[in-house]
Structure 1
Amino acid sequence: MQQFYLLFHTLQQHKLASWKLLVLAAGLILGCVVLFTYSSTSTVRSDRPSPDLSPSETSSNADSDATNKADSSANACYIDLNLLRLYADNASSVEYARLNFGVLRTENFTAFSDSLDVSIPSNRIVHLDTSASREIQTENDCTASVTIEVPLISPRPDASHMVFGVATSLEKLEDSLDAFSHWAGNTNAQIIAVVEQGGSSIRRRIQQRAKDLGIRLTITQTEDDRLDRYFSLIQVLYQHRHESTQWAVLIDDDTFFPSMKNLVDKLASYDSSIPQYVGAMTEDLARLSGTGYMAYGGAGIFLSLPLLSSLQYVFETCHAFKERGDRMLASCIYAHTDAKFTWERGLYQLDLHGDLSGFFESGRPLPLSVHHWRSWFQADMVALGKVSAVCGDECLLRRFQLSKDWFLVNGYSVIQDRTLWNDPRPMEQTWDKSKYKGSDPFAYSLGPLRRADPDKVSLRLRGVVEDEDSGSIRQVYVLSGADEKPPRVLEVVWAVVEED
């Protein structure tokens, strides 16, 4: 402060104007105060063994700590309580167990073993009536119970030689996109949908979503009723052919192909340069008296391009039949061409109602097609197919024996059947009797068959979660609670492991 007084005195001697003197003096006073305050603060801080953090620094470190804790929690082994709440029928608790499969991809893969020699883990009670979203477990709970070899994941097949046609509504078409993406996405297969007039906004939404899913979808609108729309596919598919087209395929909006690769490979065994009429019969034999020997549309009807071409000349004549769509097509082919129906046994119409678990749990080769899966019976084929991203199409519906009487039907159920291990070949007849007079309820085309086991325990797939970061798949199998018992939940985790 002494320097200030000397300077002030000097200014007075130079006789500066009073107003300039006051402004300059005020600035000098303020500067001295700032210097004094900074000097004091610096001294205090330098005496401390560790510096204090400013509010912004404190906040930043707190956020960092929280992030580290969150990362630690994310990487931990845990039970996803929100996932269980989603599929546990509003129960306050569940009997929970977890089974972990390590998946080792190898180019030397030959075949899956039918038996994995692994036991179902013991159940524990998990409470869901809490505010928590996770329950941390030990690392042992997430360690693979068994590691199995699987084939290398094949690239998506090229199906540019196939054009699919479906006559449906805009609403059903939108509901079918997830299913279509499983088999048609990024394969260059064309799908032509013939729908009713109108609905410009939903049509644009469908086209955009199909594009996002890698589906080559063309929507054609008509005023015809659904029966005529179906038969019109004969002309529409021909109009949308291109140089590489070999097959035209008529499907329903609930036709599902579990493996496009298998379908492409199977079609390659047929000569597409000659007229070919390929499909599947109904499993309900009583229907044959009214429909005859023909391809049923829901299983997929495959017409080679030469046959499709010849039908163009008789389209108007055949249109006068006015029968069911697939029946009209069969009548047209039989009346005007030399082509004869070929029953491809891997295609399934599944004209069966009720519980189709016996079909899906049979342990037989993966079907080429499945129909009626969300109408006549319930089987979430989209969720079922997701595990193929980890272990390949070959493991879909693969029936693994875990222990003597426990089996995993991959993507569909986990079952306890005390008789299956002794005679695994016959298919369990679980579906309802036919509504058609005189039908045998056993559908012998699916034989050999056996009676349904009343003592079988079956945990059905309720949901699937894909972890994009790790590439793992988590399947949730549930047995609904009974007699005031909580639901039973088995979470099956498929995770890729690296070779040592």
Structure 2
Amino acid sequence: MSRHRVLRTRQPMKSFITIVFCLSAAIFLLNSRLRNSDRLTTTNYPTSHSKTPRCDVDLDLFRSYGYNESIEYERWDITVRQSQNFNGYSDHLGVPVPTFETIHLDTEHENLLHGVPCPPPVTIDAPVPVPQVDASHLVFGVSTSLERLDDSLDAFAHWAGGTNARIIAMVEPASPEARAWITHRARDLRIRLTMIDTEEELLDRYFHLTRIIVQARDQTTQWGVIIDDDTFFPSMSNLVDRLATYDASKPQYIGALSENFDQMGIFYYIAYGGAGIFLSMPLLEELDAVYDECYEFKDNGDKRVAQCIYMHTTTKLTWDRGLFQLDLQNDVSGFYESGRPLPLSLHHWKSWADVDVLALGKVAPICGDDCQLRRWRISDRWFLVNGFSLVEYSSPMDDLVSMEQTWDPSEWARDRGYAWSLGPLRPKDEGKVSFRLRSAIPDGKTLKQIYIQEPDENRPPRVLEVVWSVG
């Protein structure tokens, strides 16, 4: 009897164990599927076994932008592995799609917010930094005011500082104190600057630069370059390499046309000054021989240079497609977000448009010159344009070749006005969300970039902090 009772009591226990095992397996499978679903919607998140890092948030930095209540915040950390065997940047960046967290700024006595969850760092490859390029064979000339020259020095330092390139600025007469201030600043920025006082009209002194450069040349000088005070060269190394592909021992007239076809009808086929006008020394010598006659041409400075070349020499314009006049007004984001090769020159960045080229360039020492404006895909709709913006398109972006036509939405502009120079073009995405670079803060081998989508009446500002470091 007792044996049968024992057998009968074990049977319910087996059933209970079986039920518990089945429930545990079902829960495990459900959690596994949920984790897989999360990974599908937020590509490149860490696995469920990864420990979430904790980051500190500088609240005072965001208060300095005028935000006093709250922000929606996300952070990415990118480690750069500098390699001698670097063979190009990847097209994708393995960071998660931003999921912003609300952070309150209206707290007293708090400068840092500690322990905010942030995704683990991702690693990208980049080239080993190269020695600073020698540009002593280049003499740049600019016609401007003393005030605008002072305002341009920081941008000049990005491409000319420490390269031995010379800059000659023709400016109006000024007090010794004002000149001394600019001379001191240029020296601190390692810019070889010479200022020449003149009471000439602005356009006359522009053409006068052709003679000034000839007079200032030395045995190493190969090129004279006439620029505007808002001409910017993202990479002096790239510029020097490109010029090396031209024969400077022959007359050379190199520049860029306007991107706007209507501008071509007004000023015709010339090198537009904002993109940079590159003149070899043999051509400058030819112009100097007819300087007095050409000086009497009363026209725009870059057009006067072209007229003198066309009327007195056999040299014709060579259009270098890396140079950009950027005759685009208002929203130029489509140009900068195009993902095309880094331009040799940019123009109108502080006049027709508002582009912080100084902040743009600060990432170059960490990930290389060509890392500037590099476009990385985050997901089918999200892209990071390094040093310019974080973009969320209104629909999946499959056309990665066409440039978004943000500056002029007309069909004329797309079909005729700009397609000949910037095409292919695609219509503006009216639902696109852009986080523009607000500041770039270097700290040794680390750089903090702040991208912001400004607030509206329905939501606070959204902020992406990208922290770059050399691994």
> Residue 81 of structure 1 corresponds to which residue in structure 2?
59
Match of residue 88, structure 2, among 111, 116, 120: 111
Matched, 1:126 2:126: no
Mapped contact 1:276–1:304 kept (Cα < 8 A)? yes
Once the two structures are TM-superposed, the CA of residue 394 in structure 1 deviates from its matched residue by 1.5
Which of the two has higher C-alpha Rg? 1
Mapped contact 2:253–2:278 kept (Cα < 8 A)? yes
* Cα distance change on mapping 1:103 and 1:425 into 2, 3 Å: same
Partner Cα separation in structure 2 for residue 467 and residue 494 of structure 1 = 10
Partner Cα separation in structure 1 for residue 83 and residue 414 of structure 2 = 51
Match of residue 240, structure 1, among 216, 219, 238: 216
* Cα distance change on mapping 1:190 and 1:439 into 2, 3 Å: farther
Matched, 1:97 2:74: yes
Q: Which runs of 4+ in 1 moved over 6 A?
A: 436-439
> Residue 451 of structure 2 corresponds to which residue in structure 1?
477
> Residue 409 of structure 1 corresponds to which residue in structure 2?
385
Q: CA RMSD in A?
A: 1.9
Q: Secondary structure at the match of 1:164?
A: strand
Q: Secondary structure at the match of 1:275?
A: coil
* Cα distance change on mapping 1:351 and 1:433 into 2, 3 Å: farther
Q: Secondary structure at the match of 1:94?
A: strand
Q: Deviations over 1:209-248 (max 9, x none)?
A: 1111111000111010101111110111111111100000
Match of residue 251, structure 1, among 199, 204, 227: 227
Once the two structures are TM-superposed, the CA of residue 181 in structure 1 deviates from its matched residue by 0.4
Partner Cα separation in structure 2 for residue 368 and residue 284 of structure 1 = 19
Once the two structures are TM-superposed, the CA of residue 185 in structure 1 deviates from its matched residue by 0.5
Partner Cα separation in structure 1 for residue 79 and residue 187 of structure 2 = 34
Alignment of 1:88-487 (within 5 A): 89-131=66-108, 132-137=110-115, 141=118, 143-144=120-121, 146-419=122-395, 421-432=397-408, 440-468=416-444, 471-487=445-461
Partner Cα separation in structure 1 for residue 107 and residue 387 of structure 2 = 30
Mapped contact 1:286–1:439 kept (Cα < 8 A)? no
Aligned AA for 1:105? Q
Aligned AA for 2:470? V
Mapped contact 2:230–2:347 kept (Cα < 8 A)? yes
* Runs of 5+ unmatched residues, structure 1: 1-75
Mapped contact 1:91–1:486 kept (Cα < 8 A)? no
Q: Deviations over 1:28-71 (max 9, x none)?
A: xxxxxxxxxxxxxxxxxxxxxxxxxxxxxxxxxxxxxxxxxxxx
TM-score by length of 1: 0.81
Partner Cα separation in structure 2 for residue 461 and residue 355 of structure 1 = 15
Mapped contact 1:284–1:439 kept (Cα < 8 A)? no
Number of residues paired by the alignment? 416
Once the two structures are TM-superposed, the CA of residue 440 in structure 1 deviates from its matched residue by 4.8
Aligned AA for 1:83? L
Mapped contact 2:96–2:119 kept (Cα < 8 A)? no
Once the two structures are TM-superposed, the CA of residue 432 in structure 1 deviates from its matched residue by 3.4
* Cα distance change on mapping 1:268 and 1:322 into 2, 3 Å: same
* Cα distance change on mapping 1:438 and 1:355 into 2, 3 Å: closer
> Residue 496 of structure 1 corresponds to which residue in structure 2?
470
Q: Secondary structure at the match of 1:476?
A: strand
Partner Cα separation in structure 1 for residue 131 and residue 280 of structure 2 = 25
Q: Secondary structure at the match of 2:408?
A: coil
Partner Cα separation in structure 1 for residue 239 and residue 225 of structure 2 = 12
Once the two structures are TM-superposed, the CA of residue 262 in structure 1 deviates from its matched residue by 0.5
Partner Cα separation in structure 2 for residue 290 and residue 486 of structure 1 = 46
Mapped contact 1:298–1:371 kept (Cα < 8 A)? yes
Q: Deviations over 1:172-209 (max 9, x none)?
A: 00000110000001000000000001232121111111
Once the two structures are TM-superposed, the CA of residue 142 in structure 1 deviates from its matched residue by 7.3
Partner Cα separation in structure 2 for residue 261 and residue 282 of structure 1 = 24
Mapped contact 1:433–1:441 kept (Cα < 8 A)? no
Partner Cα separation in structure 2 for residue 437 and residue 105 of structure 1 = 42
Partner Cα separation in structure 2 for residue 420 and residue 386 of structure 1 = 30
Q: Deviations over 1:122-146 (max 9, x none)?
A: 21111112232111125x63741x1
Once the two structures are TM-superposed, the CA of residue 118 in structure 1 deviates from its matched residue by 2.4
Partner Cα separation in structure 1 for residue 364 and residue 302 of structure 2 = 32
Q: Deviations over 1:90-146 (max 9, x none)?
A: 3411001101101111101000000123213421111112232111125x63741x1
Mapped contact 1:277–1:342 kept (Cα < 8 A)? yes
Partner Cα separation in structure 1 for residue 158 and residue 247 of structure 2 = 26
* Cα distance change on mapping 1:455 and 1:162 into 2, 3 Å: same
Mapped contact 1:397–1:412 kept (Cα < 8 A)? yes
Q: Secondary structure at the match of 2:238?
A: helix
